[in-house]
Structure 1
Amino acid sequence: MNPRRIAAALPVLLLVALSACSNADPSGRLPPSSATPSGAGHGAVTGASEVAEPQLHLVAIDGTGNVGMLDLLGNGETKLGTVAPPAATATDGRYVFTTTPKGVEVIDSGVWTWDHGDHFHYYRATPELLGSVRGGGSPAVTTGPLSTAGGTGLFFPESGEAVLLDNTSLSRGEIRERFRIEVTPHAGLVAPVGDGAVVTTADAAGTPAALQYYDADGKPVAGARADCPGIHGSIVTRVGTVIGCADGAILVTGSGDKPVLEKVPYPDSAPSGVATRFDSRKGRPTVAGLGEPSGVWLLSTRQRSWQWLPTQTPMVRAAAVDDSRGHIVTLDAGGRVHVYLAKTGEEVGVTEPLLSKTISTAPSLETVTLTVDAQRAYLNAPAEGVVYEIDFADKARIARTLSPFVRPVFMAEAGR
């Protein structure tokens, strides 16, 4: 079903989806999930409505902090308010975590998807600005798989503060820290796992070099530690959490008191460049990472294996759709979006340059976001003031050019 079209059959489909989760309880109550954290309630929260398809929106933030949302289904727009001038953003598909002079300000889009393993639940609630989390320096933000359970990790490099936010509280409009611990200041990260998180530790030179699991109270768990030289980047997948290392990646699996930290080394024939800046369609097992000199790394967390996909030009963004055809969507430094097939490495589409004004006026492309969902890719063009909707399955065709009333200097796709 096309998630951008509301069809007359959707109420029926919603009934079928709800029935698939029930145990013939005449009250209509949903039973606890065995595939997700207990008591999580399938992602439902008080005041939210369950709907029949993902409520896909774009959250746009301009350079002064104005925040708006564009409905990708109905094209309606909403202004949410204002945050302090932003420097960076991250998202888990519901919340947008915006780095500002106040620390990290949290925006709740009010739309999210609950992944139940073999099917999904979709919700819609009132969007709002939740407040800020204090901290020193520009933090690394690492999100978890579910917006209403588990946590979100913030690591502030200047102070060495590792913070784990409670997502259940966020879903109720409250910012609550599960723990805040201080380690040696370094360019680290906090990766949520189960009720706790994996936190980086630095070597004598102040370089992130190892990972330690902390429980929900911020206590280190004995035996849940792994070496990971040159730590860079993290992403959550359907299988587990990936953390990049100079010699491969650590895959963290399990959600109990002591998760498993497993090394997935690069193949012997690997090029010299390591994978950086992991990205993928949310909840998929295969992720893409930028590689050098010109190419993309693909990591299959199910197979515990890497694949090198060479490209003719260096890329600055890469995301794995991980669909049946294995689409990989990338962005080069000239502002062109390319589409490749993972199985063959064939380039099957490329756009014209889309960021000419942005490239000529911005010192870097750091505020440019390339995001993918099941059917489309989205690319914001900050200086042009538009967002391109790209049909990656149709030779990178520009399906729509969207012009939000809040200029998309920063952009996140919500509802995924």
Structure 2
Amino acid sequence: MTDRRPLTFLTGALALVVLAGCASGAPASPAETPTESSAGHGEIAGAAEVAEPPLQLVSIDDKGAVGSLDLLDGSASRLGTVGEPESVATDGRYVFVAVDGGVGVIDSGVWTWDHVDHFHYYRAEPAVVGEVRGEGPVSVSTGPLSTAGGTGLYFAGSGEAVLLDNAELSRGRIVETLRVETGLADGVVAPLGDGALVSDADGGLSFHGADGTAAQGVVACASPSGAIATRAGLVVGCADGAVLATLEGGDPAFERIPYPEGATAERASAFEARKGRPTVAALAGDQGFWLLDARERAWQLVRTAVPLVSVVAADDADGNVVALDEDGRVRVYAAATGEERAVTEPLVDAADGPGVGLSVDAQRAYLNDPATGVVHEIAYADEARIARTLETPTRPDFFAEVGR
């Protein structure tokens, strides 16, 4: 492995910011503060605080063997096994693996705690935690913090909405704070504070508190699909736009963000972004992609010359949006203008199974190639340069980037 990522100097400076910020940083406005808090800035017993983001790749082969590759020092290890994977999702610490009959939960042992104006970074022992039972395809919705709040699992086969306690997960225990039978084949359960928004039979989203109590707040949202935690609040996609949810004094507050008048592109059904940013991206059918700026409550449709299969908003200073097209090329767009800034050669067969995925952090994008068994590390802000081609300890039929 060559061209190691130049993080040491940068994150050393960030460590100084952390110390100064904890001592005297001014509080952020409520809309800019993650909705959960936890003692010790996300620290848990047995974890070590480190000076820089402990970035790793968790790889899962088609039989369920799990491995971990450290992106900083190149060390690799095997973590155990889960069931045969069907899809994966992550909050930047835990990896949730859809398997036959439920969801396997992996604790990578690395995470970042977001304190709005600075961050804390931790390492602990990784582990395969266990499995949550459920029927049919599952959609996973994660919160802003891995040691507080919850993670939502919506099982389409049974119409059950399940909320997991993240504080308990951080201690190696799977605890459900709610399991609701909605009676709906399609729906969402999206973490908000210590509770969650859950699809209801009346075409809306109801807020369930930490004790499972329902209907503390209800908002209309036809055909909800896709939920993501942003810097400005929780976003849930609806047939006519999106709902932005925040907590005010423990009670949910809702704002509707309708699509632009006259919009004809396919609706957004799943959102992706660099973790903790206000602007998120979603496919717009074969026309291009949507950008939703949750802070400005505004949609933007970016039309592209080629169809895309995935898109992620980096939401950085340069406004980069990173996408994978149907020919397996990674393309980088300017959010403000839709201009294509860079494109790679074909790197993967984008139709090569459900596990092909694209992950974006502050400096790099990662794309797994199940056919060749490698993960491409791409410097998306540097003309989409291939920085490294990484071999993982288990074949990366599925993968997730963690430590973010």
TM-score (norm 1): 0.90
Distance in 1 (CA, whole Å) between partners of 2:13 and 2:277 is 27
Report the counterpart of residue 287 of structure 1 in structure 2: 280
Give the 3 Å change call, closer, same or farther, for CA 220–72 of structure 1 in structure 2. Answer: same
**Secondary structure at 1:412 match in 2:** strand
Deviation at 1:96, TM superposition (A): 0.2
State the AA in 1 paired with 2:207.
Y
Give the match for residue 414 of structure 1: 402
The match for 1:377 among 365, 368, 378 is 365
Tell whether the 8 Å contact from 2:227 to 2:237 is kept in structure 1 after alignment: yes
Match of 1:386? 374
* 1:193–1:241 Cα contact (<8 Å) kept: yes
- 1:248 paired with 2:241, answer yes
Deviation, 1:12, is: 7.5
Which position in structure 2 is the counterpart of 1:30? none
Q: Secondary structure at the match of 1:18?
A: helix
Structure 2 SS opposite 1:175:
coil
Give the corresponding residue for 1:184.
183
User: Does 2:139 align with 1:140?
Assistant: yes
Counterparts of 1:284 and 1:3, CA distance in 2: 26
Question: Residue in 1 aligned with 2:307?
Answer: 314
Q: Is residue 266 from structure 1 mapped to residue 259 from structure 2 by the alignment? A: yes
Unaligned runs of 5+ in 2: none
Task: Say if 1:298 and 1:3 are closer, same or farther in 2 by CA, change over 3 A.
Answer: farther
Aligned residue runs from structure 1 range 162-201, under 5 A:
162-201=161-200
Q: Which deviates more from structure 2 when the two are superposed, residues 255-264 or residues 122-131? A: 255-264
Aligned to 1:94: 93
For 1:235, the equivalent position in structure 2 comes to 228
Shift of 1:248: 0.5
**Superposed counterparts of 1:12-411, under 5 Å:** 14=15, 17-22=18-23, 35=33, 37-202=36-201, 209-222=203-216, 224-254=217-247, 256-356=249-349, 359=351, 362=352, 364=353, 366-411=354-399
Q: Secondary structure at the match of 2:18?
A: helix
Secondary structure of the corresponding residue to residue 22 of structure 1:
helix
Count the aligned residue pairs.
397
Q: Are the equivalent residues in 1 in contact too, given 2:136–2:158 (CA < 8 A)?
A: yes
Distance (Å, rounded) in 2 between the aligned partners of 1:9 and 1:150? 30
Letter in 2 for 1:14: A
Indicate how the Cα distance of structure 1 residues 12 and 328 shifts in structure 2: closer, same or farther if over 3 A, else same. Answer: closer
Instruction: Describe the shift of the 1:326–1:98 C-alpha distance in structure 2 as closer, same or farther (beyond 3 A).
Output: same
Q: Aligned partners of 1:8 and 1:328: how far apart in 2?
A: 26
Give how far 1:379 is off.
0.5
2:358 and 2:368 in contact (8 A); partners too: yes
Structure 1 CA distance for aligned equivalents of residues 253 and 123 of structure 2: 34
In the TM superposition, residue 13 of structure 1 has moved relative to its aligned partner by 5.5
Q: How big is each residue's C-alpha offset from its partner over 1:238-278, in whole Å with a ceiling of 9 and x where there is no partner?
A: 11111111110111112643211211000114233112321
Q: Report the CA distance between 1:89 and its aligned residue.
A: 0.8
What is the CA–CA distance in structure 1 between the aligned matches of 2:7 and 2:162, rounded to whole Å? 40
User: What secondary structure sits across from 2:270 in the alignment?
Assistant: strand
Find the residue that maps to 2:215 and give its secondary structure: strand
Partner Cα distance (2:289, 2:239) in 1: 16
Of the two structures, which has the highest relative contact order with CA contacts closer than 8 Å and spacing of 6 or more? 2
- TM-score normalized by structure 2? 0.93
Q: Distance in 2 between matches of 1:292 and 1:221?
A: 34
Name the CA distance, whole Å, in 1 between partners of 2:107 and 2:254.
31
What secondary structure sits across from 1:45 in the alignment? coil
Unmatched tracts of structure 1, length 5 or more:
25-33, 204-208
Q: Structure 1: which amino acid aligns with 2:74?
A: N
Relative distance call for 1:176 and 1:379 in structure 2 (3 A) is: same
Distance across 1 between alignment mates of 2:91 and 2:289: 23
Asked if 2 retains the 8 angstrom alpha-carbon contact of 1:95 and 1:108, the reply is yes
CA distance in 2, matches of 1:168, 1:55: 20
Deviation of 1:47 (Å): 0.4
The 2-side partners of 1:324 and 1:8 are apart by 20
What value does the CA root-mean-square deviation take over the aligned residues?
A: 2.2
Q: Is the 8 A contact 2:101 2:136 kept in 1?
A: no
Pair 1:293–1:16, CA change in 2 (3 A) = closer
Distance 2:148 2:193 in 1: 9
Deviation string, structure 1 residues 136-171 (Cα, Å, up to 9, x no partner): 112111100000000001111222221111000111
324 and 229 in structure 1: CA distance in 2 versus 1, 3 angstrom threshold: same
Post-superposition offset of 1:354: 0.9
Structure 1 residues 407, 173: CA separation in 2 closer, same or farther (over 3 Å shift)? Answer: same
Give 1:7 deviation, angstroms: 3.7
Asked if structure 2 preserves the Cα contact closer than 8 Å seen for 1:271 and 1:292, the reply is no
Q: For 1:234, give the aligned amino acid.
A: A
